[in-house]
């Protein structure tokens, strides 16, 4: 069994040993030849008619031929010739000198050479031949076939002794074959094991253990294999993957990665490369397809993933950020192209929705600027380079400011004023969420006494809270403590969270919201209508205010469907007991339509822009509607 199992390795091992021995033989053969010549000379001058002179000369000649033909002859032949000559020498010693120690030494040496370095079968055959050769001399002399007077006396041969010697030698040969081959099998086994380990190490170095997909190194190697490749390189990652791990646990995170990997494999075509290029980042390389087909296939893939996730009842909706680039290896290396796809992917991330972005030079410029801003954000938070502006919320019914929304502003060196539309998404994907959020809460709470004086004691103050900050471990505790320490009544505060936060983490949100409301804070659902607008979520959540996104308000008057949609949102207010705020009201026309639809609270440039606390109130009176 073992013997069969190791057959391939043994022959590979034999070949390796032969290769090593070849160099040694090339040195030993001339040494053996010269030694044989020396012995022949020595014997010739001392015992002139000794037949071994001829034999040594013959041996030396053979060695000279082997040496001359060393480049042509295979090592196996060289070993076989040396073994045969050694055996013949042994036989000659027996023939001329009788059964001496020297003759046996030659027999053993020749067997060792063949059994040790050639294959098992040639070892067995050779040992068999040498065992047969041993009794030939006594048999031949007994039968009178050979007669070497003066050197050898056949009468001295005891047949029993010869028989015993032959049997002992045969036994020795068997033991030799067994021992050497057991050693060989064991060596082969350990070589096999080492090779398996090596294979596993190579596999680990090139494959991701969790998903079985090739890793980044393999991906780059595959793309670089054939020079001057051209094709589409796509990189994508899962939005909010760290939230999956922290809220649902690593097992759920792993499950998600495996589903994605399976779908990648299922959607892959023969000549395409795919890989897991980072912790939650995947790569796909494809040639011979158009950009349109590429986008269509990416969408198909995403659909496939959603289906699979539904099947396993995955607790979240998964969105991808995708970046892609047309890779031309005549101008760009695989690494550079991956970097470009990565830049596009990062920009796709800042778009806020599942987005597929193609790399171009403008995208790179925007990315570099974002990177610089990210680096400036942390010291900016520490140095308090931020301040708050407040935008009024006006009630039509009482023609009065009933609240303000706090909006952060950043005066950044060297860029000047940076819009929150730029820095908020960057903060949200950094680890600065909590630091920034807590700073905003501090700034707003410090301003509240002045705000109440400026706009009236009964106004509310709205603060935008990012999803990660809202769901963070100590958010509620911090908020309650800060309010207490600064003497602020929680009922003054409205916390604005986006619809997106709700959909991604419904259960956690329900819990956090109920705790906050118990503590006296109010909750507003911001940007309603931009995300998935699932009205079913509204039934689950206790919110105090719903803010219709300004993109709807903007399209009022243009699109009758928007009017119908806003009307149906407003109709919910009685059933759910929340107030409705229309955001981004800029024109009198929008205001008139909203008023007709039954909306009472407005926020927008028509009434007031966000202004710093020190500036005078802007609120203009309501326009009179006809
Ligand atoms: P948002 O919460 O929807 O805030 C309203 C945005 O609409 C503000 O933009 C405001 O200036 C703008 N706006 C108000 N009325 C009008 C109008 O009539 N027309 C137009 N075109 N725009 C109007 P801003 O201040 O640039 O803030 C942008 C977004 O950044 C905010 O959207 C909010 O999501 C985020 N943000 C701002 N400050 C903070 C903050 O302190 N914390 C967090 N987490 N996010 C913030
Ligand atoms: Ca808001
Ligand atoms: Ca909003």
All residues with CB under 5 Å from ion ligand 3: 526-527, 583
Res 626 pLDDT > 50: no
Least confident of 6-10, 408-412, 453-457, 528-532: 528-532
CA of 420 to the centre of ligand 3 (A): 12
Q: Determine the Cα–Cα distance for residues 310 and 262; give it in Å rounded to an integer.
A: 15
511: left (phi over 0), alpha (psi -120 to 50) or beta: alpha
Q: Atom 32 (ligand 1): residue with closest C-alpha?
A: 421
Element of type H or E holding 240: none
Measured from the Cα of 420, ligand 1's closest atom is 30
CA of 530 to the centre of ligand 2 (A): 13
CA of 405 to the centre of ligand 3 (A): 10
Q: Atom 7 (ligand 1): residue with closest C-alpha?
A: 584
Tens digits of residue pLDDT in 234-287? 999 998 787 788 777 889 899 999 999 999 999 999 889 999 999 999 999 999
CA of 408 to the centre of ligand 1 (A): 8
Res 199 pLDDT > 50: yes
CA of 489 to the centre of ligand 2 (A): 20
Measured from the Cα of 586, ligand 1's closest atom is 18
Give the number of whichever ligand sits closest to the CA of residue 421: 1
CA of 405 to the centre of ligand 2 (A): 7
* DSSP class per residue in 252-296: HHHHHHHHHHHHHHHH--TT-EEEEEETTEEEEEE-S--HHHHHH
Q: What pLDDT, on a 0 to 100 scale, did the predictor assign at position 157?
A: 65
Q: What pLDDT, on a 0 to 100 scale, did the predictor assign at position 308?
A: 93
Res 22 pLDDT > 70: yes
In whole numbers, what is the pLDDT of the chain averaged over residues? Answer: 87
Q: Atom 23 (ligand 1): residue with closest C-alpha?
A: 584
CA of 298 to the centre of ligand 2 (A): 33
CA of 121 to the centre of ligand 1 (A): 87
Q: What pLDDT, on a 0 to 100 scale, did the predictor assign at position 104?
A: 82
Tens digits of residue pLDDT in 549-590? 998 899 888 888 888 888 988 888 888 889 999 999 999 999
Give the number of whichever ligand sits closest to the CA of residue 602: 1
Q: Atom 25 (ligand 1): residue with closest C-alpha?
A: 407
Measured from the Cα of 498, ligand 1's closest atom is 34
Structure token pair of residue 75: 């090592």
SS3 category, 580? strand
Measured from the Cα of 469, ligand 1's closest atom is 44
Give the number of whichever ligand sits closest to the CA of residue 433: 1
Give the number of whichever ligand sits closest to the CA of residue 607: 1
383: left (phi over 0), alpha (psi -120 to 50) or beta: alpha
Q: What pLDDT, on a 0 to 100 scale, did the predictor assign at position 623?
A: 59
Tens digits of residue pLDDT in 426-437? 898 788 999 999
Give the number of whichever ligand sits closest to the CA of residue 422: 1
Measured from the Cα of 605, ligand 1's closest atom is 18
Q: What pLDDT, on a 0 to 100 scale, did the predictor assign at position 536?
A: 66
Q: Is the pTM of this model over 0.85?
A: no
Res 108 pLDDT > 90: no
Q: Atom 16 (ligand 1): residue with closest C-alpha?
A: 584
**Neighbour-count burial of 198, counting CB atoms closer than 10 A to its CB (0-12 exposed, 13-18 middle, 19+ buried):** exposed
Rounded to an integer, the average pLDDT of 312-335 is 86
CA of 477 to the centre of ligand 2 (A): 22
CA of 309 to the centre of ligand 2 (A): 32
Measured from the Cα of 549, ligand 1's closest atom is 3
Give the number of whichever ligand sits closest to the CA of residue 554: 1
Which residues are bridge partners to 286 per DSSP?
A: 232
Q: Is the dihedral of CA 468, 470, 472, 474 positive or negative?
A: positive
Q: Report which of 345, 366, 340 is spatially closest to residue 355, judged by C-alpha positions.
A: 345
Q: Report which of 566, 577, 579 is spatially closest to residue 533, judged by C-alpha positions.
A: 566
CA of 524 to the centre of ligand 2 (A): 9
Measured CA distances, 280 to 51, 253, 254 (Å): 84, 9, 10
Structure token pair of residue 313: 């009842």
Structure token pair of residue 124: 């067995």
Rounded to an integer, the average pLDDT of 346-351 is 80
Give the number of whichever ligand sits closest to the CA of residue 549: 3
Structure token pair of residue 159: 């047949």
Measured from the Cα of 610, ligand 1's closest atom is 11
Q: Atom 41 (ligand 1): residue with closest C-alpha?
A: 408
CA of 495 to the centre of ligand 2 (A): 9
Question: Residues enclosing ligand 1, CB less than 6 A?
Answer: 391, 407-408, 419-421, 424, 440, 464-466, 526-527, 550, 583-586, 603-605, 610
Res 152 pLDDT > 70: no
CA of 508 to the centre of ligand 3 (A): 22
Confidence band, pLDDT 50/70/90 cuts, at residue 621: low
Q: Atom 33 (ligand 1): residue with closest C-alpha?
A: 464
Q: Atom 2 (ligand 1): residue with closest C-alpha?
A: 464
Whether omega before 414 lies within 30 degrees of 0, making that bond cis, reads yes
Tens digits of residue pLDDT in 402-411? 999 999 999 9
Q: Atom 8 (ligand 1): residue with closest C-alpha?
A: 407
Q: What pLDDT, on a 0 to 100 scale, did the predictor assign at position 219?
A: 92
Q: What does the H/E/C string look like for 170-215? A: HHHHHHHHHHHHHHHHHHHHHHHHHHHHHHHHHHHHHECCCCCCEE
Q: Atom 43 (ligand 1): residue with closest C-alpha?
A: 464
Residue from 391, 408, 462, 464 whose mutation best tests the ligand 1 pocket (most atoms within 8 A of CB): 464
Res 459 pLDDT > 70: yes
Tens digits of residue pLDDT in 470-489? 988 889 999 999 999 999 99
Tens digits of residue pLDDT in 492-548? 999 999 877 766 677 888 899 999 999 999 999 998 876 555 566 777 788 999 999
SS3 category, 556? coil
Residue from 420, 440, 468 whose mutation best tests the ligand 1 pocket (most atoms within 8 A of CB): 420
CA of 200 to the centre of ligand 3 (A): 54
Q: Which residue has the higher pLDDT, 215 or 367?
A: 215
Res 330 pLDDT > 90: no
Q: What pLDDT, on a 0 to 100 scale, did the predictor assign at position 47?
A: 78
Tens digits of residue pLDDT in 381-407? 988 899 999 999 999 888 899 999 999
Measured from the Cα of 427, ligand 1's closest atom is 44
Of 53-57, 97-101, 335-339, 481-485, the range with the highest mean pLDDT is: 481-485
Confidence band, pLDDT 50/70/90 cuts, at residue 226: low
CA of 527 to the centre of ligand 1 (A): 10
Least confident of 44-48, 405-409, 417-421, 580-584: 44-48
Rounded to an integer, the average pLDDT of 90-108 is 81
Q: Atom 3 (ligand 1): residue with closest C-alpha?
A: 527
């Amino acid at each position: 069994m073992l013997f069969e199992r190791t057959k391939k390795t043994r022959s590979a091992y034999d070949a390796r040993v032969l290769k090593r021995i070849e160099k040694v033989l090339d040195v030993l053969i001339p040494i053996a030849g010269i030694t044989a010549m020396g012995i022949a000379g020595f014997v010739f001058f001392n015992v002139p008619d000794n037949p071994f002179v001829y034999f040594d000369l013959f041996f030396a000649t053979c060695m000279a031929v082997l040496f001359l033909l060393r480049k042509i002859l295979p090592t196996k032949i060289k070993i076989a010739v040396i073994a045969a000559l050694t055996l013949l020498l042994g036989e000659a010693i027996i023939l001329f000198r009788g059964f001496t120690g020297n003759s046996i030494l030659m027999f053993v040496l020749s067997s060792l050479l063949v059994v040790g370095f050639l294959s098992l079968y040639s070892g067995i055959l050779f040992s068999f031949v040498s065992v047969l050769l041993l009794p030939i001399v006594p048999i031949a002399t007994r039968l009178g076939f050979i007669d070497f007077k003066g050197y050898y006396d056949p009468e001295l041969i005891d047949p029993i002794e010869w028989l015993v010697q032959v049997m002992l030698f045969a036994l020795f040969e068997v033991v030799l074959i067994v021992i050497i081959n057991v050693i060989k099998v064991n060596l082969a086994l350990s070589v096999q094991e080492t090779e398996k380990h090596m294979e596993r190490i190579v596999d680990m170095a090139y494959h991701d253990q969790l998903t079985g997909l090739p890793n980044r190194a393999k991906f780059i190697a595959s793309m670089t294999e054939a020079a001057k490749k051209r094709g589409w390189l796509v990189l994508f990652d899962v939005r909010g993957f760290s939230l999956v791990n922290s809220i649902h646990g690593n097992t759920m995170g792993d499950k998600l990665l495996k589903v994605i990997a399976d779908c990648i494999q299922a959607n892959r075509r023969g000549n395409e490369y795919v890989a897991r290029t980072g912790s939650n980042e995947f790569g796909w390389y494809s040639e011979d397809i158009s950009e349109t087909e590429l986008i269509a296939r990416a969408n198909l893939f995403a659909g496939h993933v959603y289906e699979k996730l539904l099947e396993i009842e995955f607790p979240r909706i998964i969105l991808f950020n995708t970046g892609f680039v047309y890779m031309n290896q005549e101008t760009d290396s695989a690494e550079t192209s991956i970097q470009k796809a990565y830049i596009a992917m990062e920009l796709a991330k800042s778009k806020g929705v599942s987005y597929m972005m193609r790399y171009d030079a403008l995208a790179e410029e925007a990315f570099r600027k974002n990177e610089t801003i990210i680096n400036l954000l942390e010291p900016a938070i520490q140095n308090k380079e931020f301040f708050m502006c407040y935008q009024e919320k006006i009630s039509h019914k009482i023609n009065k400011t009933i609240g303000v929304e706090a909006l952060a502003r950043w005066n950044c060196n060297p860029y000047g004023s940076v819009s929150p539309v730029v820095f908020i998404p960057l903060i949200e994907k950094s680890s600065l969420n909590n630091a920034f959020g807590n700073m905003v809460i501090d700034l707003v709470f410090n301003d509240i006494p002045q705000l109440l004086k400026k706009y009236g004691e009964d106004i509310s103050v709205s603060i935008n809270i990012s999803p990660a900050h809202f769901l963070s471990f100590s958010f509620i505790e911090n908020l309650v403590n800060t309010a207490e320490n600064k003497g602020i009544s929680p009922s003054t505060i409205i916390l604005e969270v986006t619809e997106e936060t709700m959909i991604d983490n419904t259960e956690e949100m329900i819990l956090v919201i109920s705790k906050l409301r118990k503590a006296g804070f109010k909750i507003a659902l911001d940007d309603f209508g931009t995300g998935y607008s699932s009205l079913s979520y509204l039934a689950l959540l206790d919110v105090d205010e719903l803010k219709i996104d300004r993109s709807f308000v903007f399209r009022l008057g243009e699109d009758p469907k928007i009017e119908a949609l806003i009307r149906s949102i407003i109709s919910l207010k009685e059933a759910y007991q929340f107030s409705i705020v229309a955001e981004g009201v800029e024109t009198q026309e929008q205001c008139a339509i909203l008023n007709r639809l039954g909306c009472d609270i407005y926020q927008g440039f028509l009434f007031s822009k966000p202004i710093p606390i020190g500036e005078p109130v802007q609120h203009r009176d309501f326009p009179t509607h006809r």
